[in-house]
Structure 1
Amino acid sequence: MESHDPRSTGSLLNDVLSSVGNLLRQEVDLARAEVDQNLKRAGAALGLLVVAVILAFIGLSVLSTAVISALVLAGISQLWATVLVGLVVLLIAIILVIVGVKRLKLSSIAPTRTARSLKADAQMMKEAYNDR
């Protein structure tokens, strides 16, 4: 037993196009929100990189002199004391840079939830079309 929708084909087509338009607008809004959120995370990661650079300079200029002096007093030559302190400070800076870069990956900026949602919408439309 078949039931027919009393609306005209044009009316049904208009409803479908309106629904698709609304769905696309919602997906665009979702993508914008997701990209905004991801860009904020990227900004925070860049902030970590800036802090890493600042800490590297502060560490080199403020603490290195005191530590080098202490190492020289302990019997290490000034050259080797300077090299040792420089390497330690640079190691700290490198660790901070690595953490910042990992958080800054471009893939973390992409709107992945929106992409999944669009795929699900497309699959739903295919299934609805194939059922007819």
Structure 2
Amino acid sequence: MSEPRPRTVPELAGDAIRETQELVSTEIRLLRAEMAESLQHLMLALGLFIAAGVFVLTALLVWIFALVKALAVLLQSDALAALVVGGVFAVIAVALALFGRSKASLSGLEPTRTERQVRQDAAIITERMGE
């Protein structure tokens, strides 16, 4: 049996490059497969959240209808009960909208801390340039 001949540096470098390319392409295939699987899980979760939202909205509407019916028994009028419940929900909606509008002022979007920091940085740079 003869011993295998020693490999040259270019052969070893070529093998290293080829194996590195194979490793990178295998890792990329694995990454793609994992991302596709993760995206499928994310889409399933999103679908389930949407379905849950539909059921919550349906339950809320049924509860509101039950509230109207219960109030109708007390007031002896379906129309009056619907007006009372609708009015209460309208007041709640207006209050939430006004509160949201007050929190969404354009002045709240101004980056005041960043502006202050930039001014301080500019002052420090100007001071050091003068030295």
Question: Taking structure 1 as the reference length, what is the TM-score of the superposition?
Answer: 0.48
Question: Taking structure 2 as the reference length, what is the TM-score of the superposition?
Answer: 0.48
Instruction: From the CA coordinates, give the structure whose radius of gyration is larger.
Output: 2
